[in-house]
Amino acid sequence: AQKVTQAQTEISVVEKEDVTLDCVYETRDTTYYLFWYKQPPSGELVFLIRRNSFDEQNEISGRYSWNFQKSTSSFNFTITASQVVDSAVYFCALSDGDGANNLFFGTGTRLTVIP
Amino acid sequence: GAVVSQHPSWVICKSGTSVKIECRSLDFQATTMFWYRQFPKQSLMLMATSNEGSKATYEQGVEKDKFLINHASLTLSTLTVTSAHPEDSSFYICRDKGELEYEQYFGPGTRLTVT
């Protein structure tokens, strides 16, 4: 069965600090997709990244970077030089690869960036 | 990418009344839509999968007679919360499947408050 674990419930950092949000997943599928979403106070989910199971290259997008390691079933997300606007709840999610397109969410990590 | 809209964005209703939430795929014909519920400070939980022209598939523990889903066209799925109670107060989010299995397009959500 698919499962996503975000062990960090809440994190607080001071502005300009780097912060890493952890995500560990479980799946029996060989083909799957991993996602990160940001949910600001407004509630709307903001798509950040999608990674398929065959692409283990790390990715960097501005201040955001992602570290995908199949050996440890982890897909961690790092924000460098954090800003107050980064304050939000971040969800890691897993989509199975059987075409049903089900999406399994972790419990989320609430990030607070203190000015 | 596809754009998904929801209406209303927020609604307050009295206990015992019914509320209809619409989810529209604006530029893509979505044969499948997903409905999620998110209680405060919790993760998104899949309620049901809505299939155009057929009955919805409900997740375990979700009452199909209470949460009526209709997917009568390729661009519109509706969720009706019948005889709403305060415990139904939640954030309801829809998602369409997209053409490719890794595509995920979420609506902006509907915040329901039952008094």
Quote the Cα angle for B63-B49-A34, to 5°. Answer: 125
Across chain B, mean pLDDT equals 89
- The reported pLDDT for the residue numbered A13 is 98
Q: Give contacts of A52 with chain B, Cβ < 8 Å.
A: 102
B16 exposure class (CB count in 10 Å sphere: 0-12, 13-18, 19+): exposed
Contact B32 A102 (CB under 8 A): no
Nearest neighbour of A91 by CB, restricted to B43, B46, B98? B43
pLDDT in tens, B20-74: 999 998 876 777 889 999 998 899 999 999 888 888 999 999 999 999 999 888 8
- Rounded to an integer, the average pLDDT of A102-112 is 93
In DSSP terms, B38 is beta-bridged to B91
In sequence order, what DSSP letters do the residues of B50-79 get, joined into one string? EETTS--EEPTT--TTTEEEEEEETTEEEE
| Greatest extent of chain A over all pairs of C-alpha atoms, in Å | 44
Q: Give contacts of A105 with chain B, Cβ < 8 Å.
A: 43-45
The proportion of chain B whose per-residue pLDDT surpasses 90, expressed as a percent, equals: 67
The proportion of chain A whose per-residue pLDDT surpasses 70, expressed as a percent, equals: 96
- The reported pLDDT for the residue numbered B29 is 73
**B window 8-67, beta carbon within 8 A of A:** 32, 34, 38, 41-46, 49
- Rounded to an integer, the average pLDDT of A54-76 is 92
Distances (CA, A) of A79 to A19, A21, A76, A101: 5, 8, 10, 28
Q: State both tokens at A49.
A: 């990244």
B81 phi/psi in degrees, rounded to 5 = -90, 110
- The reported pLDDT for the residue numbered B102 is 60
Question: Is it the case that residue B101 has pLDDT exceeding 60?
Answer: no
Report d(CA A45, CA A52) in Å as an integer.
20
Across chain A, mean pLDDT equals 92
Q: Give contacts of A108 with chain B, Cβ < 8 Å.
A: 42-43
Residue whose tokens read 């400070």: B41
pLDDT in tens, A14-54: 999 999 999 999 999 888 989 999 999 989 999 899 888 98
